Amino acid sequence: MKHPRIAAFALTAILAASSLAGSAQYAPASAGNLDWLSNQKYVDCLKGISFLSNWNNGQPSTQAQKDAAYDRGRRYCNRQNFPNRPGTDY
Structure confidence at residue 14 (pLDDT): 74
State how far Cα 3 lies from the chain centre. 51
d(CA 21, CA 28): 16
Is the per-residue pLDDT at 16 higher than 90?
A: no
Structure confidence at residue 54 (pLDDT): 86
Cα 61 to Cα 31, 45, 46, 48, 56, distances in angstroms? 32, 22, 20, 18, 7
Structure confidence at residue 11 (pLDDT): 66
Residue type, 76: Y
Closest CA to 75 of 54, 38, 67: 67
Q: Write the pLDDT tens digit of every residue in 20-75.
A: 656 666 656 666 778 878 889 999 999 999 998 888 777 888 999 999 999 999 99
| Beta carbons within 8 Å of 66's beta carbon, 6+ residues apart | 53, 54, 56
